[in-house]
Structure 1
Amino acid sequence: MARLIRSLRKTLTLTHQFHHQQQQLCISRHLFRRSYISEMRKLAFEGNILRLLRNEIQYELQTSPPNNPVAKFNSFMVDGRPGERWITLKRQYADEDIKLEVTMFDGAVPAPTPTPNGGVTNSDEMQMHITVIVSISKGEDGGVLQIVCSAWPNNVEIKRLFIRADEKIIAEPYTGPEFTDLDDSLQDGLYDFLEVRGINDELAVFLHQYMKHKDKTEVVRWMERVKSFIERK
C-alpha cells in the first residue's frame, strides 16, 4: 500500500512538473512572439522614416544641386562654417581688421510694394532678414567698434553701434542712442563709413544669395545626419 502511495505521489509530482514546464513554455512563446512583433513594428517604423528621408534628400539634391561654397566676395574672405547657423567674412582695410558675423535667415517681414499714388503698402510676399555684426579693430589696445546691421534683400540698414574695450568681453556696453535718433548727416556719414569698407547694398544681395544656398545645404546635411543615426545598429 505504501509503495502504491509513493508511486501516486511520484506520478502527481511529475505531472505537476510537466504542466509547469508547459506553462513556462507557453509564456516564453508568448513573450517571444510579442518581442518579435514589437521588433518588426520598430523596424517597419524606422524603415518608413528612412524611406521618407531618402526621398526628401533626393528631392532637395535634384531641385538644388550642391555647388562649391564661395570662398571670397570682393575683398572679403568667406568662411561658410558648415553645420552652423553663422558665417564669417574677414578683410583688412588700411590699419583695420574687419570681421563680419552673419546669421542665416533669422526673420521676415511683409515686402513693401509701391502704390500708384507714390506710397508704399505691405504685400503678401515676405522679405527675409539677416543679422550682420560688424567688428572693426585697430591693433590690440584700440578697442572694437561694433555695428549691428540688418541685411535686407537689396540693402544694409544700421541698427546700432557701440565700442567694446575687447571683442571677447561679454559684459553688455552702453549702446548709445537709437540710430534713427541721430542727426541725418551723421547717419549718412556712418553709412558712407561702411560703404568704403565694402559693407553696402551689393554685400546684402550677396548674403541673401549665399544664405539661400546654405539653407538648402544645411537641410540636406541635417537629414543625412538623422538618417545615419537611425541606420546605426
Structure 2
Amino acid sequence: MARLIRTARTARTALPFFSRCASKTLVNAVERHPNPPLRNAISASLFHSRHYASEAFSQSPMEANILRIIRNEVEYQSEYAPPQQPATKFESFTVQDRPGEQWITMRRRFGDSEDIKIEVTMFDGYETAPKTGDDSSGEDVRLHLSMLVDITKGDDSKDLEFLCSAWPDRLEVQKVYVLERDRMPAKPYMGPDFSLSPWDWDWW
C-alpha cells in the first residue's frame, strides 16, 4: 500500500519545470502589496500558474478500485495518523506557518533596529541535471522555491525588498526595490544580476 501511495504521489508531481507553481504561494503576498505599480512588476516576475482543465474519462473497474483504495487510505491516515507540529523556529528566525497555504513567513531582528521578513513558498518547480560522481547515470532532480525578502529599519531609512529564486546550491536575486516609508519605490535597482552561494548566506 505504501508503495502504491508513493507511486501515485510521484505521478502527481512529475510535471514539467514550473508547470505546477502553486496558486497560493507568494502571489498571495504580492496581491496584498499596497503599491499597484510595484505589485504588478513583482507579479510579472513570479512564476505563472498554469490552469488545467479537468477532462472526463472512463475508468476501468481496476482503476476505480485502485482509486477507492487510495482514497480510503488517505482518509484513514488523515484521521488517525498523529499530526506533525510545524516548526516555529529556524536558525535565528521565527517561523509562522499558514495552515492550508503553500508558503510560510520567517522573521528576525538584526542588530537593534533592523527587521527582516522572508516569505517563502513550498517547492514550486524543479529542473533536471545530469548526475555527477561515480554513479553518473541518469539525472538528478533539483527543487526550486521562491522568496520575497523585506528589510526595514526603525529610523527614517528606506526599505529594501528582494525577489529571490532559491536552488539547492545558490540564491538568485531577480529584482531589488528601494522603497519609501509609504512603500512607494524610491528608485529601481540598476546594478547587474547576481547570485549567492550557500556559504554566502551567513548574513541572513
8 Å CA contact retained: 1:135, 1:146: yes
The 3 A distance-change label for structure 1 pair 156 and 142 is same
8 Å CA contact retained: 2:130, 2:139: no
Equivalents in 2 of 1:138, 1:122: separation in Å?
A: 50
2:84 to 38, 63, 67: 67
Look up the match of 1:85.
Answer: 102
Look up the match of 2:202.
Answer: 195
TM-score (norm: length of structure 2): 0.52
TM-score (norm: length of structure 1): 0.46
For structure 1, which runs of at least 5 residues remain unmatched after alignment?
Answer: 1-48, 181-186, 198-233
The 3 A distance-change label for structure 1 pair 106 and 98 is same
Give the greater-gyration-radius structure (CA). Answer: 1
Q: CA deviation at 1:146?
A: 1.4
Equivalents in 2 of 1:84, 1:93: separation in Å?
A: 27
Q: Deviations over 1:116-163 (max 9, x none)?
A: 8xxxx9953321101111111112632211122222235433333231
Q: Alignment RMSD, CA only?
A: 3.8
Name the one with the larger helix percent: 1
Pairs within 5 Å for 1:44-123 = 53-58=71-76, 66-94=83-111, 95-111=113-129, 113-114=131-132
The 3 A distance-change label for structure 1 pair 112 and 124 is closer
Q: Kindly, what percent of the aligned residue pairs are identical?
A: 32
Aligned residue pairs, count: 135
Look up the match of 1:131.
Answer: 146
Q: Deviations over 1:8-41 (max 9, x none)?
A: xxxxxxxxxxxxxxxxxxxxxxxxxxxxxxxxxx
For structure 2, which runs of at least 5 residues remain unmatched after alignment?
Answer: 1-66
Q: CA deviation at 1:174?
A: 2.5
